[in-house]
Chain A
């Protein structure tokens, strides 16, 4: 039982390049989230999904797109990377229902130069 798996773990991009971060969960959770973590700013929600085929914007969605074509996968895309997107990205999931703790992946450290 792997929980939440994020790939890749590290990546360096040049400004203007694109990439996709993959999040996979094997717990049959309905909800999935993408957060970014920056020093002194905590975790901020980028986008989230309440089920297969649905996505919604979080606190800081600009510059990112997401897709959830399968229940177990949640993809985060950067179409044209900027240095301001240098961050650690975390995916998380929760089951249906209120007040369940998030299960987080181990993160992707992205550097945009």
Chain B
């Protein structure tokens, strides 16, 4: 079964708009939540990550919001640009382990 549930499957946003991708999990032993960005023909690359002891982390136009009680976290891309068009994966890692469990991915298209 999917350890991390991700939605939506695809997303189309106008240039300058806000892109929001959501993820949810059940395992309370998860302690690290990264987001990866993947361009066609490339491997995923780490974009931003958060620990459950903070509710928000911002890096440039990218922000992770984390709701520990709801077991949900989301990626917000502000002022979305055509160059942000890619597939985004959320992931989670258990305490004491290094393996990541990935969501199913969201294909983002930013229209000029």
A and B are interacting partners? yes
Q: What B residues does A44 contact at CB under 8 A?
A: 102
By the criterion CB–CB under 8 Å, are B51 and A99 in contact? yes
Question: What is the minimal beta-carbon distance from B110 to any residue of chain A, in angstroms?
Answer: 21
Q: How far is the CA of A90 from the CA of B99 in the complex (A)?
A: 14
B93 within 8 A of A: yes
A45 within 8 A of B: yes
Q: Considering only CB atoms and an 8 Å cut-off, how many residues of chain A contact the other chain?
A: 25
A50 within 8 A of B: yes
Main secondary structure, interface of A, reads strand
The interface size bin for chain B is: 20 to 34
Which of A4, A40, A94, A101 meets B49, CB within 8 Å? Answer: A101
Chain A residues close to B by CB (< 8 Å): 4, 31, 33, 35, 40-45, 48, 50, 58-59, 90, 92, 94, 98-99, 101-102, 104-107
Chain B residues close to A by CB (< 8 Å): 2, 6, 9, 31-32, 34, 36, 41-46, 49, 51, 89, 93, 98-105
